[in-house]
Amino acid sequence: MKVELQPSNFNEFIGQTNVKNTIKTMIESSLKQGINLDHMLFHGIPGTGKTSLAGIIANELNRQIHYVQASNLEKKSDLITILTCLNEGDILFIDEIHSLNSIIEESLYNAMEYFVFDLIIGVDANARTMRMNLKKFTLIGATTKLNMISKPFKERFGYIARFNNYSKKELCQIFKNSAEKMEVKINDPEIFEISTFSNFTPRIANNLLRRCNDFRISMNKDVIDQETVKKTFYNLDLYKLGLGKEHVEYLKMLRENFNEKWVSLETIANLMSIPKENILMNIEPILLLHGLLIKSSRGRKISSYGIDYLLDL
């Protein structure tokens, strides 16, 4: 049976210290006052613990959490189906909440503020509004694109939390905890090496640990050692700093075609035959994070560190 690596309580949740402390305080305050926990909006890159922390909040409150993808809420009927299933104090977690359409977003305004939902019954001259009372709930939204959420919607969240990248020390601790749960032996040098390939992201770190363990088992080893790690990363096409083939090809294209000159995103997309959205979301963030790429209003260019990176491959 697959071992669950997600933390189930605040003690197990590593990192995001200020966010964690604020939420613990909010929970304690709401319980002492006997009031509903304020709505929250989590934003940050994927894999940094937004979903995990929402689950921990539900555990701490001893309430049920209902997970839904924003893209699945297309019509008012989809939303009312979810809202009427909520019990008093439940958590509603909407992932990628920035992709809600305007009808659903505006329908949530009264639901969040007053715990009511207005339904339109009938059509044209016969139309009338029926107001439904909802049980009090806490909405937790998660997004990777905070800028796409409207100001009126953001203002209805009592707490907006930014999830930052994790330090190597935090990632190493997450590795140790996960390895202990999986009952896998791994030494500190290998833990540190894998952490450098994880792009400061726990989800990537845990996935790499699982793959290293797969190769350990296949190689009939008792411990994840240096040989296991190297073989795993070779087969996963992973390069130093956790870059993939597409990242290296991007850097090579900039170096070979433009040296250190500025180039537009559109030109890059055409040369690589890759959609611009894919470049923006899946390729450039890691390169910017590691200082391999420079980005400005003039376009993009490879950094001197990026050139050194290619020379070291």
What would the pLDDT profile of 276-295 be if each residue is shown by its tens digit?
A: 999 998 999 999 999 999 99
Asked whether the predicted pLDDT for residue 308 surpasses 80, the reply is: yes
Amino acid at 120: I
- Specify whether 228 is catalytic: no
Q: Which runs of consecutive H residues, i.e. helices, occur in 95-244? A: 102-114, 151-154, 168-182, 188-196, 202-218, 226-235
Q: Enumerate the domain spans of the chain.
A: 17-163, 168-238, 242-312
Report whether 128 belongs to an annotated binding site: no
CA dihedral 144, 150, 155, 156 (to 10 degrees): -80
Report whether 81 belongs to an annotated binding site: no
Fold of 17-163: Rossmann fold (3.40.50)
Q: 140: exposed, middle or buried (C-beta count within 10 Å: 0-12, 13-18, 19+)?
A: buried
Instruction: Name beta bridge partners: 20.
Output: none
Candidate list 48, 63, 95, 301, residue with the active-site label: 95
Report whether 52 belongs to an annotated binding site: yes
CATH classification number, 242-312, choose in 1.10.3720.10, 1.10.10.10, 3.20.20.140, 3.40.50.10860: 1.10.10.10
Candidate list 63, 203, 211, 216, residue with the active-site label: 203
Fold of 168-238: Helicase, Ruva Protein; domain 3 (1.10.8)
Q: Tell me if 198 sits within 8 A of 290, measured CB to CB.
A: no
pTM, entire model: 0.89
For residues 56 and 207, give the distance between their C-alpha atoms in angstroms, rounded to a whole number: 21
Report whether 168 belongs to an annotated binding site: no
Give the model confidence (pLDDT) of 101-156 as tens digits. Answer: 999 999 999 999 999 998 777 676 666 777 899 999 999 999 999 999 999 999 99
- Specify whether 144 is catalytic: yes
Give the model confidence (pLDDT) of 143-173 as tens digits. Answer: 999 999 999 999 999 999 999 999 999 999 9
Asked whether the predicted pLDDT for residue 259 surpasses 90, the reply is: no
Q: Do domains 168-238 and 242-312 have the same CATH topology?
A: no
Candidate list 144, 201, 228, 232, residue with the active-site label: 144
Report whether 145 belongs to an annotated binding site: no
- Specify whether 17 is catalytic: no
Q: Give the pair of three-digit tokens for residue 94.
A: 């909407």
Would you give the distance in Å from CA 177 to the centre of its chain?
A: 20
Instruction: Name beta bridge partners: 302.
Output: 293
- Specify whether 50 is catalytic: yes
Report whether 176 belongs to an annotated binding site: no
Give the model confidence (pLDDT) of 191-229 as tens digits. Answer: 999 999 999 899 999 999 999 999 999 999 999 999 999
